[in-house]
Amino acid sequence: MTMVELIKIVDSVYDPCDRIILRYWNTKTECPQYLDAGDDLAFFIVNELFETYDPEATEDEQLQEAIRIMDTAVVELQRVRDAFEKLRVNKGREK
């Protein structure tokens, strides 16, 4: 599986009406390209896939790694979200 194939999978499901994921991938340099397009999460996904991509890995290994890095991101985002929620609830009790 090529990096472009992975990017296209993400692009097909990440805000499919906007197709922003492909804009963060430079087909000439075959590297992520940061754009001031207002979606840093899209760039993050492209960049994480790029940083962990192994062209020698099997398709299954590549998909496992993509799942692993997305799962890690979900956990970290959930921790941040939970911290904000805890603060909001605690601030509400202080009133």
User: Over the chain, what is the mean pLDDT?
Assistant: 93
What is the structure's pLDDT at 95? 65
Taking CB atoms within 8 Å and a gap of at least 24, the contacts of 70-75 are: 70/45, 73/44, 73/45, 73/48
Reading the block at residue 50, the tokens are 């790029």
Q: What pTM did the predictor assign?
A: 0.85
| Structure confidence by residue, pLDDT tens digits, 50-80 | 999 999 999 999 999 999 999 999 999 999 9
pLDDT surpassing 70 at residue 35: yes
